[in-house]
Amino acid sequence: MATAPEDVQVGDKVLAADPETGATMAKPVTALIAGEDFKNLVQATVDTDGRKSNQTGLVIATEIHPFWVFELHAWVNAKDLKPGMWWLRTSAGTYVQVKAIKK
pLDDT tens per residue across all 103 residues of the chain: 677 878 889 999 988 877 777 677 889 999 887 777 788 999 999 998 777 778 898 989 889 988 888 788 888 999 999 998 778 877 777 788 899 999 8
Handedness of CA 55, 19, 2, 62 (dihedral sign): negative
Predicted local distance difference test score (pLDDT) of residue 1: 60
- Is 0.85 surpassed by the pTM of this model? no
Residue 1 DSSP code: -
